[in-house]
A = this chain, B = another copy of it.
């Protein structure tokens, strides 16, 4: 390959490239990404979620409305902006889809029907440092339900049910396990133990997966908890069990508190309504706390069964005052977010996602000669009207060359329009090599 040259004032010596942390795919992988996104969308819609799409940006006031955030925000600035053109409000790229959704619900409150069930599948951006190898741009696929004043628990159960259906159809070998808890259990339990600094404890318990029960006990000791409290808390956070068996296991720890009972009742209702799912798909896991987030009840985390050390690909929960805080209303919500790019990227990396086809084309119509162009185009158009995706070869080149083009792109069928008057159409199956007489009306696509 010749020496690459970039047409800029500063000459470049490298091939042009994108920005690190901003992934893009070759067409054959993108084709699969589209299929995954279509499948997820169909799954969300099968539960009646309506789509919204919010802009890439929000005002900084909105992005920072929940106070300090651990997500780094990209702020936008016009390249040719005057240095002190500060008349305009400042805005930045959204770092999740929950904050924009909350702003949207508050802003369009009068135009929405509640409970408002929405899904949103968009890219989000985080100003991660490039050396950390993380995505700075990635797709999230979210469902949330927002209600006025009171949100039935039925929706807390609908979230995992919907996600299970959606992810189950993606063809992952072992699928995903949804770990569910309820913040009130941990909060109530700690109140029952008269623990003062519950926020610090939650942050420690959140690490259960990484540092284990012994590590958690160690760090709780540093926080000054008594040995009985440490023993009770680590026992609670070690409960991982299907169905509603967690309730008796918590009771056996001997801690009593009204909030704890409320949490147990809520989680039991959710688990009860998920009995139709396979046992490995959903588990009550009382170590789940989602410490840094705004959740107040049910909390979720979803992990790939085949790659337990990969971390969560699903996260979410119930929040009481995210949307309502903007307009002084009570608008409780519950939602889950699927980290799509994280999941899809992993599956590409593991070789689970692959494609033979480099384009959507079903049929390549051969161009026998310049004189036959109109006829070839007509044949292509007739095939299209039957719902097929069709290319006409662009120039009357040698047949072998036209076939190579179809082969390279993974086009499954090649169509030969009649070479002479009153001739017949023929079609070649590129996989089997079989070629036979056909008509536009008779042809059927077998993949």
Contact = CB atoms under 8 A, between A and B. Distances in A.
Contact of A2 (B81, B276, B328): B328
A76 B74 contact: yes
A325 B7 CA distance: 7
B55 A79 contact: no
Interface in A60-84: 60-62, 64-67, 72-81
A122 B329 CA distance: 35
A360 B50 contact: yes
Interface string A1-31: 1111111101010011111001111110011
Contacts of A273: 373-374, 377
A56 B58 contact: no
A19 B361 contact: no
Contact of A53 (B24, B48, B113): B24
Interface string A24-58: 11110011011000000000011111111111111
A139 B73 CA distance: 23
A184 interface: no
B7 A360 contact: no
A298 to B, nearest CB: 15
B61 A72 contact: no
Interface in A373-408: 373-374, 377-378, 381, 384, 388-392, 394-395, 405, 408
B4 A56 contact: no
Contact of A408 (B6, B30, B108, B113): B113
A107 B56 contact: no
Given A76-B75, A79-B73, A327-B16, A22 B55 contact: yes
B360 A103 contact: no
A309 interface: no
A112 B405 CA distance: 12
Contacts of A305: none
